Chain A
Amino acid sequence: MAKKIPQINASSMADISFLLLIFFLVTTSMDVNQGLARRLPAPIPPDQKVEDKDINKRNLLVVKINSANQLMVQGQLMDVKQLREKAKEFIKNENNADYYPKLVEEDFGAPFGMIKYTKDHVISVQNDVDTQYQAYLDVQNELVAAYNELREECAQKYFHKAYKELEDDQQKQIQKIYPQKISEAEPKNYGN
């Protein structure tokens, strides 16, 4: 005589699977909002004259993008791909070159101690009215990447950890050594 196989009551399976389906439908958010985060300078009060801040020439890295999306860095034509290295060289100024920003020595506290850094460097991005948005973002992206790489190097050197894994105040310390200084001028026409 054949043995009877006991049956499992599966009538609630459908309900459970529907519940699961609805749960995941509700909780997943598909649209991930990502972007290049930047901070705009505060507006100039209307009664105040626009004064040209006197920035020492060696502290300034001028990046110009023309209407054909070509890049000019310190008066030289350059490819976007080279910009990151150039920016890093400029921000670090390891060899204390006199055409790169002035090094200032300052005490950043443990574990940094006295560090020489280019305190007053400014990267100035100037674009044409007809510059393509993507070209502008490429430049911004490379500059942010340069800062991110420098901060990463610093985190590895002093904390032997990735920058992302550091505590908030440790990140702030590093941000002080490599402050993001990207200034944007009002758009002008730079030839065609």
Chain B
Amino acid sequence: MKEVTYKVSIHNPQATELTKLEKKSLVRYIYVGVPTADFVKTYGSDTRIQLDDAFAEAKEIGDFIINERSSMKESEQPLMTVSIKADKDTRMGVIADIKQELRRAYALKISYAATQRSN
């Protein structure tokens, strides 16, 4: 049961201080990782960003956020959370670009998706 079909392969990073994302309708996702085997031929093996069902550039995040926000109820718009689902081996340069775009679009509530570390 996932939100979309992944076009990038994501191995979740691990952490311990996790909080659950309560309301699913308030959460939007940004996927970051290397394209899966089917797409390596056309998209190469560099880290790519996936928004909804398609590959995207970091620049498109702003429009994506604004679009998604306008489709939400006005009262819920400030509560929007963006969950960044990135592969654990991603370089921070890509993440930093995404963060800058999110700041510019005023999507300041973010969550770095991770799985619970068992220790």
Interface residues of A (CB under 8 A from B): 29-43, 127-134, 136-138, 140-141, 144-145, 148, 184, 186-187
Contact = CB atoms under 8 A, between A and B. Distances in A.
Closest 5 interchain pairs by CB? A35-B111, A129-B93, A134-B88, A131-B92, A133-B90
Interface of B: 1-2, 13-21, 24, 27, 81, 83-84, 86-93, 95-96, 99-100, 102-104, 106-116
B99 A132 contact: no
Nearest to B82: A40
A34 B93 contact: no
Nearest to B84: A35
Given A33-B24, A35-B111, A187-B93, A133 B17 contact: no
Given A39-B109, A42-B106, A133-B87, A34 B20 contact: yes
A187 B92 CA distance: 8
Contacts of A41: 103, 108
A133 B107 CA distance: 20
Chain B contact residues: over half helix, strand or loop, or mixed? mixed
A148 to B, nearest CB: 6
Contacts of A31: 1-2
A34 B115 contact: yes
